[in-house]
Structure 1
Amino acid sequence: MNVAEISQVALPLLTQFGLRVLGAIALWIIAQWLIDFGLKLLRRAFRNKHIEPTLVNYIVNIVNVILKIVLIVAILGFFGIETTSFAALLAAAGIAIGAAWSGLLANFAAGAFLIIFRPFMVGDTIQAAGVTGTVEEIGLFTTTINTLDNVRTIIGNNKIFADNIQNFSANPYRRVDLQAQLHHAVDPADAIGRLKERISQIPHVLNNPAPDVEILEFNLAGPVLAVRPYCHNENYWQVYFDTNKIIKETFGQAGYPIPEQRYMFSGQSPDGTSANVVQRTSLGKG
C-alpha cells in the first residue's frame, strides 16, 4: 500500500476523529457551563431556605462530582466506548469505598444531622461523648470541643450523635448544686435563714429564681442542707466557688460546732456486761 492509499484511508479517519474530539470539547464546555449554572441555582435555593452554609457547600460539591462523572461517561459513549462495563466498575468501586469508609460516612451523616437539627451551636457549653467543654467548631466529620481545662478535643460526629447530648447553654440560667453538713445540735432553720441572706449577695447569683436552701437528708452527723443558687452559664464556676466560701464563712461566724460522724457499736464494760459505745469522728467542716 503506497502513501496515496494510506492517506486516502487515514484522512477520513483522522477527520472523523478530529470532529469527535472537537465535539467532545464542545460538549464538555457546554455541559460544564450548564453544571455551574445549575449549581448556582441550587446554592441560591438553599440560601433562600436559610440552610447551614457548611451543609450547602458539601451538598453542592457532592452534586458537582456526580454530574461530572456522568459527563465523563457520556463523553466516553460519544467516542463509541462501551460504558456499561465502566458504569458497573464505578458502582463496584463505590461499594468498595463505601464499605472501607463506613465509619467516615457515618460521621458525615451524623454531621449533616447535627447541622440540620442543631442540638448545639458554636460557643455552647455541652457534654457529649464523655467530653464537657465549649464547642469551637462543628464540621461534617468531626466536632471540636475546648474542654474546661483548656484541652482542644476533636470527636467524631457519629460518636456525639449516638450519645446523650447535654447543652448547658440552651436555657437562660443554670442551677449550682451544693451540700452543707450541719452538726446535730444546730437549728436547721437558723442555718437556712443565714445562708439564704448571704448567698443572695454573691455576685451573679440570680434573684429570680431565688436561691434554694432546704434540708436534703439526715445522717449520723446531723442534717444535710441542699444549697442551690441559680446563675447564667458563663458564671457557673465563679458562683460555685463563691458559694462554698460563703457556706464556710457563715457557719464559722455563727459559731456552729464542727459536725461529727457518730458510729455506734456494741462492746463490753469493765465488769463484763455488754454496753453500747459511741465513737465520734470530726468531719472538719462547718
Structure 2
Amino acid sequence: MNQVLDWLNNNSDLIVHYGINLTLAVVIFFVGNKVAKFCAKITEKAFAKKKVDKAVGTFVSSIIYSLVFAAATLMALSQVGIETTSFIAILGAAGLAIGLALQGSLSNFASGVLIIILRPFKSGDYIEAAGHSGSVEKIEIFATELRTPDNKVIIIPNSSIMSGAITNYSREVTRRIDLVVGVGYDADLKQAKQVLQSVLNKNPKILKDPSYNVAVFELADSSVNFVVRPWVNTTDYWDVYFDLMENIKIALDDANINIPYPQMDVHVQK
C-alpha cells in the first residue's frame, strides 16, 4: 500500500497531466458529436429552405455528419497523445483492407451517390424497387427508406435499388387505369359498351384528354372481355380505380348484363 502511495506521490504531476488530457479528449469527442449533428441539421434545413429535394438534403447532411465526427475523433485522439499523422497512415492502410472486406458497403455508398446524381426518384415519390414498393422517405449514405401505404418502413440497400429495375409511379402527372371487364356471350355487346361508357362519363375525375378507351379485347373461354382504359391524374388513381370497380358492377346489374364466372361444360357419354 505504501508503495502505491509513494508511486502516486512521485507521479502526481504526470497523473494530473494525463487526467486533464483524457478529460479534454472525452469532452472533445462528445462535443464533436453534438457539433456534427448540429451541422447535419443545419445543412438539411438549408437545403429545405432552398426548396431542394428532401432526399438530397438528407444524403448530404449524412456525409457532413460523418466528416465532422471523424475530425472530432482525430482531435480527441491527438489530445491524449496519439500521433494522428501516423494514425491516419495506419487508417489508410487498414482502410484498403477494410474496403476490400466491405465492398458491399462501398457499393451502397457509390449507388447512393448515383441516385442523387441521376435522380431516378425524389423524396415523396411512390416507387417499386428491389421487390418492394412504397413512398420514398429519405435517401441516406448506404440505404434508402420507403414507407408503405399501411405505414411500414422498408430500408433497402442502395446497391440493391440501382442494380435492378426502378418503377416510379409518381413521376408523370397522369396515369392510365387498365381494367378488364367480362360479360356473358348472350349479352348485347353494344349495350354493354354503352353501359361502361356511361360509368366513365359520370366520373368527374376521369380526364377528357387523352380520352378513355372501351373496346372488345378478347373472346375468352367463359366471357367476352372488354378493356376499360381511362386516364386520370396520378393523385386520383386509386380513388377512381375503386370507384369504377364498384360502379361498373352496379351498372351492369341494373342493365341485366351478367358477369360470368369461370365455367366448364362436361359431356358424359355412356
TM-score by length of 1: 0.64
Paired residues of 1:122 and 1:135 also in contact (CA < 8 A): yes
In 1, Cα distance between equivalents of 2:69 and 2:264: 74
Aligned positions of 1:194-209 closer than 5 A = 194-209=195-210
**CA positional deviation for 1:59:** 6.3
Query: What do the CA deviations read for 1:96-131 (whole angstroms, capped 9, x no partner)?
Result: 221232222211111111011100000111111111
User: What residue is the counterpart of 2:164 in the other structure?
Assistant: 163
Q: Which secondary structure does the structure 2 equivalent of 1:267 belong to?
A: coil
User: What residue is the counterpart of 1:152 in the other structure?
Assistant: 153
Equivalent residues, number? 214
Paired residues of 1:200 and 1:207 also in contact (CA < 8 A): no
In 2, Cα distance between equivalents of 1:234 and 1:181: 27
User: What residue is the counterpart of 1:225 in the other structure?
Assistant: 226
Cα RMSD after superposing both structures: 3.3
In 2, Cα distance between equivalents of 1:124 and 1:146: 10
Aligned sequence identity (%): 36
Query: What do the CA deviations read for 1:33-58 (whole angstroms, capped 9, x no partner)?
Result: xxxxxxxxxx9xxx9xx995555556
Query: Which moved further from structure 2: 100-109 or 56-65?
Result: 56-65
Q: Does 2:268 match 1:250?
A: no
Q: Which secondary structure does the structure 1 equivalent of 2:173 belong to?
A: coil
User: What residue is the counterpart of 2:34 in the other structure?
Assistant: none
Structure 1 or 2: larger strand share?
1
Q: Which secondary structure does the structure 1 equivalent of 2:268 belong to?
A: strand
User: What residue is the counterpart of 1:183 in the other structure?
Assistant: 184
**CA positional deviation for 1:91:** 3.4
**CA positional deviation for 1:232:** 1.7
The structure with the larger Rg is 1
Paired residues of 1:174 and 1:232 also in contact (CA < 8 A): yes
In 2, Cα distance between equivalents of 1:86 and 1:152: 39
Letter in 1 for 2:210: P
- Structure 1, gaps ≥5 residues long: 1-42, 76-80, 273-286
Q: Does 2:208 match 1:211?
A: no
Closer/same/farther in 2, CA of residues 152 and 90 from structure 1, 3 Å limit = closer
**CA positional deviation for 1:258:** 4.7
Q: Does 2:103 match 1:102?
A: yes
Closer/same/farther in 2, CA of residues 128 and 90 from structure 1, 3 Å limit = same
User: What residue is the counterpart of 1:119 in the other structure?
Assistant: 120
